[in-house]
Structure 1
Amino acid sequence: MPILVIFCLLWSTFAVGVVFNLNFNIYNKQENNLNFVIPEAQADQATTTVFVLNASPYFVLGPFEKPFSTNTTPVNVGETLVFTALADDPELNDYYLLVCATSSGAAVNGGAPACQGTQFCVSGATAVSASSTCVYTNVVDPGAETDDWYAYVCDGHATEAACSPVNQGSGDGGSPFYVNHAPTIDLVITSDNNKAPGGTFTVTASSTDTDVLGGADTIYFDICATNSWSTTTRCAVSLCYATSTISGGITATSCQFTINSVVPDQNYTYYAYIQDWHNLAGTNNGTSTYYTVINVAPIVSGVVINNTIDIAPNLKGSAEAIATSTGTVTDYNGCTDLLDATSTIYWESVSGAENCTANDNNCYKMTAVDCIEDVGSCTGDTDSNTTYTCTTQIAFYAVPTDTSARYASSTVWRAALAISDDNGAFGIATSVAGVDVETNTALDVTESGINYGTMSAGSNTGNNNATTTVVNYGNSPLDAGIYGTDMIDSPYYIRATYQEYSLINFGWGAGTDLSSSTIPYAELDVLIARPTSLTNVTDEVLWGLGLPVTTHSGDYTGTTTFVAIIDENGSW
C-alpha cells in the first residue's frame, strides 16, 4: 500500500511539471516472522519559473481635443484637429498616441501603431511623462455634424508592442468631435441692373447651409470687383457685402453698390463669396456674373461762335475768312466714348436754324473732318469732359448783320455743335450769344480804262459810248459814287466836266457831267445787288466826251474814280 501511494504521487508531480528528487533506502524488517523491505525518504527542493509579457502604456491625462470642439465651436471640414494626451509606461518605453475612426487600434513591433480602419492621426514617439500630440489634417466630411474617435497609447516594443485599452476621452474635449460644413452659393443675380453712371445696383445671392447644431449660423456675403478674396481680408476690391442667418436650409440676401459718376458703358464682371461664422469659405465661391452700365447721351454746353468776335468776310478774289465754333462735351460714359462732332454756323433767320441746308449765304455745315477734339482735353475714360473746335471758311457774300446791314436790328449769326457717341446717342446745343457778319462794301471795274480813242478839237463821241463794268466785290447791294480828274497833256488839259456818263446808251450832251469834286461826289444808282454766289454781279456805266474847239492837240490822260456805296434799298 505505501508503494502504490508513492507511485501515484510520482505521476501526479510529473503531470504538473514539478520535479521531486527522491532517494529511497531499502532495508529489511522482520516482524512476526515476516520480512519487509521498507524505503526511507529524505527532505528536498522544487524550482519555480514564470514568463511575464511587456506591459502596455496607460493614459495619465486625456485623451482630449485641443482646443475642444463643441456644437458652437466645431472644426471646419478641411481644416486641422489636434488630439493630446499624457501617458506613462511601466517599463519606461516611449509611447505613441493613436486616434482612429473606429476601435481598431493595433500595436506594431518596433514602430508606430496603426488603425485597422480609418486612421485620424498618430503621434511620434514620446517619452513617458511627456504630453503627446497628434494632428488630424484636412478633416474629412463624415456626412454628419459629429464624428466619433477612439484613442490609444501604444509602445513600439521590438517583439511585444502593446496598446492601452481604447479611450474616447470625456466632456467637451472627448469623442465625438463636431464638424462644421461649408455653406454653398446657389445663385447670384444682379436683381436691379442696367444703370447709368452714378447709378445704384442691387445684387441678390442665395446659399444653402446644412448644419443645425449650435443654433442659427451667420452667413457673410461678399461681392467683389475682382477675383481676389480671403476669409480674413475679404474682398481685395469690394462692391458690397451683407449678412444673413440660417439654420439648416436656404437663405437669400441682397446688397447694393453705387458706381462712379463717370463709367464706360459695358458689362462688368463681379464675383460672389460667402463664409460662415466659423470662417469656413463656401463652396462655389468665386461664382461670377455681371452688372451692366448703360450708355447715356453726351451733353453739349458752352457753344461759342468765333470766340464771340464778329466775322469779317474777305473781299471777292481773296482767301476766304476763317470762322470757328467751339464747345464743351460731357459724356458720363467717359470722353473716350465720343465718336464724331459736327457743327453749323448759321444766320439765325435762315429756314431750319441749325438744321438749315448748306448755303454759303447763310448756312455753313462742318463735318467730323472739320471738327477736332482739342489736344489734351480728354484725359481718359474716367474723364467726362472734352472740348471741340470746328472750322469753316466764310464766303465773301455771306449775309451781313452789322450796323450797316438791313438786318442789323434783328438778327445775328449763331453756332450749333452736335456730337454722337459710339452707340449713336446724340447731343446738340447752340450758342447763347451771337456775332455779326460784317458788311464789306467793295467794287471792281473790269476795264483798265475809259478809252475815247482819237478825236478832233470841237468834236464829241456822239452815240459811240465807252463802257466800264462795275463788279460787286462785297456782301451788300451797291450804288456807285463817281468823280474824276481833268485829263492833262501838260501844260494843256481837258476839264473833267467835258466827260458825261449814263447807265444807258446816250448821245453826248444827254449824259451826266463828270464831277471833279471828291466831296461830295456824284452818286450813281447802279443796279448791283448783293452777290449770292461766285458769279459776278455787275452793272455798266457808259461814257462820252466832248472837246472844245480850243483843245490843243496831244495825248491826254486823267483818272476816274468809282466809290462803292451801300444801296440801302437794293437787293440784299
Structure 2
Amino acid sequence: MAKKIKKTIPWFLVLLLIGLAVGIGLNLGETWVQADEATTSVTVGNVLPSITVPADDSSTCDSPTDVGSDVTFTATATDANGDEWKILVCETAGTTGVACTGAQWCVSSSVSSGSPASCSHTVVAGDYNNGAWFVYACDSTGCTADDNTYSPFNVNREPDFSDISVPAADPGQNIVFTATASDPDHNGDGCTADEVELYICDAAGADATSGCTGGTELCHAVLTGSNPTCDYSVTIPTAHGPNNYYPYVFDTHGMPAGAGIQGVAAQYTVNDVAPIVTSVILDDGGPIALNLKGSTTDIAAVSTDVTDNNGCEDITEATAVIYLTSKGDSCAADDNNCYQIDTGNCVKTACDGASDAVCTYTCTAALKYYADPTDTSSTWSGDTWSAEITASDESGSGSKIGDTPVDLQTNTALDVTETIAYGTVAAGQDTGSDNETTTVVNYGNSPIDNELYGIDMTGPATITIDVGQQHYALIAFTYGTGDTALKLEASKDTVDIEATKPTSTTPDVSDNILWGIEIPGGKASGEYTGTNTFTALVDTDDW
C-alpha cells in the first residue's frame, strides 16, 4: 500500500499571499483600516481619611486643664485619595456630613494627607467628668471615626469660696481666719480629690506659688479638704479698730477661687483693751517724812510699768489714791488719811510713740503735816500707808495697789511765843497775879506734852537770877501759889499741856503756859536775860 504524503504551505508564503491580496484590493478602490480606538471609563471611589490615635494635650490628674484654659486635640490622618483632611472633636458621638451631630468642641483647618492637625477647645466647668469625647478625621465629603473612645481630659475647676469668719481678738491673741471653702473636683474620675489652701495678706495680690505678692502674709493654711483656717498673732502693741486684709483660696493645682470675696479687701478687728498697771511704788519705798506745820510734803506714787497693748498713746489719763491702808482704796478724801489724786496731778512720761506699749505715771499728792503716822510712836503703829494707781483709756481702766506699803513717820514739834517779858520788877518783889503767857502750838502730827527747862538769867556785871525764881502754871496764878519753879535741864519737868494731834490746818492746836518771877533782894538794877527751852514730847495718853 502506497503511503500518502500530507503537504503544508510555509507560514511566510501565507503572509505573502495575504499582502498581495490587500494590495490588489487597494488597487481595485476598496477602503481598508490599519488602526482603531476604544473609549475606557472607571469611577475612583472616595476613601475617608484614616486617623491615628489622637491626644488631648497630655492633660492628667496631676496636671489638669483649668476651666477657662484651652485643651488642644492632635491627630494625624492619611487620605488614600491624597485629599486634605481636618480633625473634628465632638462632645457626643456622631457626625452629619462633616459636622458634629451634637455639640462641636473644635475643628481644625484642612491639612495635607499625612500631616498632623490640631484644634483647641476652651474648657468650661461642664466639661468635667462628662463621658467620652469623640474625634473624627474629615475630608470634604465625610468623616471617619477613630476606633477608640476616650475618657474626659482632666478638667480643673475653680474652688468654691463663699465666706470667711474672723472673730475679733485682743493684742497678743490670735485672729482666727476660717474660710468657707471647698473644691468640686472629687476622686470619682480616678484622680485624688482636690484640696484647698488659704492665704491672708495685708495687701492685695497673691498666687499659689509665691503666696502674698502685694504685701505681707498674715497667715497661711496649708492644703486641706475643706474650710481652711489659719491664725494671725496680733502683735503688741496694735491700735484698736479695723485692719484690712485680703483673703485668697487656691486648689491643689494652684487654681484660684473665682470672683466674689477672693482678693477683696475685708477687715479684722483688734479689740480696745484696758491698760494694765503692773507696779506701784510709794515715796521711793518710804518711810514718809512730813514737813512741819506751815508747808506740805509732796509725796509721789509712781508706776514705771503702765501697759496698754493698744499702745501707750492710747492711755488717756490716770488717777491715784494715797491712803492709810486700813481706810481702803475707796476712802473718802481726808487730809488725815486719804488723798485722792486727780488726773491733773498724774503725769505720763516715757511713752515713745505708737510702737511702745509701756509708759510711766507719776501721781503726786501734797500731804499735810498732820497726816496720820504709822510708826511705833503712833496709835496707828499696826497700820501703814498704801498707794493705788488707776490708768484709763476709752475702753476701761486698770488699777494696781502697791505691793509694799510704807510707814509715815511721827513728827513731834512745837512753836512757842518767842519772848517772856516780865517787865520791871523791884528787887525783893514778885509779879504776884500778873502772869506772862507763852503759847505752845503743835506743829507735828501727834498729840504733845512739853518738856520744860531753863537757865539762870544773867544781868549787869554777870550777876544772875537763879532759874528757880521763874514759876509757871497752866492756869492763872498768884506767884507762889499753885505754880511750879522752873528747873535746869538736868532736872527738867514734863508739862502735861493740852495739845492734841492736829486734824486740820486751822485753827491752831495750842495750849498756854503762864509765868511769874520773883527778884531776890540785893540784885543790882538792870536788864537780865535768859533762855527757857520747850521740847515737844509725844503725849501717848492723848491720841
Q: Which residue of 1 aligns with 2:68?
A: 78
Tell me, yes or no, if the aligned pair for 2:223 and 2:252 is still in contact at 8 Å: no
Between 1:266-275 and 1:410-419, the stretch displaced more is 266-275
Q: 1:530 to 1:175 in 2, by over 3 A?
A: closer
Q: Which residue of 2 aligns with 1:550?
A: 522
What are the within-5 Å matches in structure 2 for residues 510-521 of structure 1?
510=481, 512-521=483-492
Q: Which residue of 2 aligns with 1:565?
A: 537
- Determine the C-alpha separation between the residues in 2 that align with 1:475 and 1:386: 36
Q: 1:475 to 1:73 in 2, by over 3 A?
A: closer
Deviations 1:155-179, CA, capped at 9 Å, x for gaps: xxxxxxx98976777768x797554
Q: 1:139 to 1:202 in 2, by over 3 A?
A: closer
Deviations 1:63-118, CA, capped at 9 Å, x for gaps: 63332x3688642112243455668999x9xx998878798999xxxxxxxxxx98
1:312 Cα deviation (Å)? 0.4
1:528 Cα deviation (Å)? 0.8
Amino acid at match of 2:427: A
Q: 1:422 to 1:135 in 2, by over 3 A?
A: same
Q: Which runs of 5+ in 2 are unaligned?
A: 1-25, 40-48
Q: Which residue of 2 aligns with 1:459?
A: 429
Tell me, yes or no, if the aligned pair for 1:336 and 1:380 is still in contact at 8 Å: no
1:522 maps to 2:493 = yes
Q: Which residue of 2 aligns with 1:18?
A: none
1:474 maps to 2:447 = no
Q: Which residue of 2 aligns with 1:182?
A: 158
Q: 1:202 to 1:568 in 2, by over 3 A?
A: same
1:298 Cα deviation (Å)? 4.6
Q: Which residue of 1 aligns with 2:472?
A: 501
What are the within-5 Å matches in structure 2 for residues 27-426 of structure 1?
64-67=55-58, 69=59, 74-84=64-74, 139=123, 177=153, 179-190=155-166, 193=167, 197-198=172-173, 201=176, 203=178, 205-207=180-182, 209=184, 214-215=189-190, 217-226=193-202, 227-234=204-211, 236-241=217-222, 243-244=224-225, 253=227, 255=229, 257=231, 259=233, 262=236, 264=238, 266=241, 271-283=246-258, 284=260, 285-286=262-263, 294=271, 298-326=275-303, 328-329=305-306, 335=312, 337-350=314-327, 353-376=328-351, 380=355, 383=357, 386-408=359-381, 410-424=382-396, 426=397
1:436 Cα deviation (Å)? 0.9
Q: Which residue of 2 aligns with 1:435?
A: 406
1:316 Cα deviation (Å)? 1.4
Q: Which residue of 1 aligns with 2:453?
A: 483
1:501 Cα deviation (Å)? 1.7
Amino acid at match of 2:57: K
- Determine the C-alpha separation between the residues in 1 that align with 2:264 and 2:390: 43
1:261 Cα deviation (Å)? 7.9
Tell me, yes or no, if the aligned pair for 2:295 and 2:368 is still in contact at 8 Å: no
Tell me, yes or no, if the aligned pair for 1:98 and 1:105 is still in contact at 8 Å: no
**Percent identity (aligned):** 32
- Determine the C-alpha separation between the residues in 2 that align with 1:468 and 1:253: 92
Amino acid at match of 2:493: A
- Determine the C-alpha separation between the residues in 2 that align with 1:170 and 1:286: 47
Count of residue correspondences? 494
- Determine the C-alpha separation between the residues in 2 that align with 1:532 and 1:74: 91
Amino acid at match of 2:221: C
1:364 Cα deviation (Å)? 1.4
Q: Normalising by structure 2, what TM-score?
A: 0.73
- Determine the C-alpha separation between the residues in 1 that align with 2:145 and 2:432: 147
1:388 Cα deviation (Å)? 3.4
Q: Which runs of 5+ in 1 are unaligned?
A: 1-26, 30-37, 49-57, 107-116, 154-161, 245-251
CA RMSD of aligned residues (A): 4.7
1:361 Cα deviation (Å)? 0.9
Q: 1:176 to 1:513 in 2, by over 3 A?
A: closer
1:462 Cα deviation (Å)? 2.2
Q: Which residue of 1 aligns with 2:3?
A: none
